Amino acid sequence: MTALFVVLGYAAIAIFLVGVLAKVWKYGTTPSPLKIPQTPAPVTATGVPVRMLSEVVLFKSLFKSNRVIWLAGYVFHIGLLLVVIKHYRFLFASVPAGLSYFDTFEMYPGIIMMGGLGLLFLLRLVVDRNMFISVMTDYFLILLFISIALTGTLAKHFYRVDITQVKQFMMGLISFSPMGENSAFPTETIFIIHFSLVLLLLVYFPFSKLMHSAGVFFSPTRNQVDNPREKRLVAPWAADISGNTVVSVKEEAAEAPGQA
């Protein structure tokens, strides 16, 4: 059992890392030659980070478009963040003092996470527009996250998995000594299900819509400055034909002051 899940764990992590890095590389090397920022957009380069911060932290565009979906999504992401932070103890030999406070939340992060996911799932069933644009993978992802949160909550508070053994196994994986004397894989059924679902999520992550977590930083509608008049962009083929260059409107006016 230990050898099997060690192999599956390393394979899932490798697929996750390689897949995410490959997608990020693709996003970063894809040219965006058009000025297509979604207005109202920042008109200076310093305003772009502020806009990106509001999108990533507050989901500003979603808040303006649909308050109910924003609430459900925000509750889910807050719960997910708390759940991830609470799992830090399985990755560190000693508990950082600044993070020990989150242990007092007990089962609440899992409940918050499942509450937001449940509302998102319900909206896809009862709202015609949401149902029309939903595909099977959308339902699969929501159910996968709900299953992970549910099994994790059950393992922590109801079936009482040996947390010490779980930490020893995880520390063995991290230290690349997974077959150590005290690194046996926990045999509780609920933990096996929970850990398997997490591995499935890691494998599926790079090939799913979850890559929006990285793709949002490369979206030209979000990361571009709204200055098409001040800095005109000429296509390379047009520059080759007519000798045009990428210049600003002010530079054009300075070169031809007598032209209207």
Q: What is the pLDDT of residue 198?
A: 97
CATH homologous superfamily for 2-229? Transmembrane di-heme cytochromes, Chain C (1.20.950.20)
Query: Is 196 in contact with 145 (CB distance < 8 Å)?
Result: no
Q: Where do the CATH 1.20.950.20 domains begin and end in the chain?
A: 2-229
Q: What is the pLDDT of residue 100?
A: 67
Query: Is 240 in contact with 57 (CB distance < 8 Å)?
Result: no
Query: Is 52 in contact with 223 (CB distance < 8 Å)?
Result: yes
Q: What is the pLDDT of residue 249?
A: 45
Whole-number Å distance between alpha carbons of 3 and 184: 9
Q: Which long-range contacts (CB under 8 A, 24 or more apart) does 63-70 make?
A: 68/119, 68/123, 69/120, 69/123, 69/130
Closest CA to 33 of 248, 246, 215: 246
Whole-number Å distance between alpha carbons of 252 and 35: 19
Q: What is the pLDDT of residue 239?
A: 64
Q: Using 50 as the pLDDT threshold, list the residues of the chain that sit under it.
A: 244, 246-250, 252-253, 258-260
- Look at residue 248 and give its three-state secondary structure: strand
The residues that bridge with 248 in the sheet, in sequence order, are 231
Give the chain's length.
260
Q: What is the pLDDT of residue 154?
A: 92
Query: Is 75 in contact with 145 (CB distance < 8 Å)?
Result: no
Q: What is the pLDDT of residue 96?
A: 67
Q: What is the pLDDT of residue 71?
A: 96
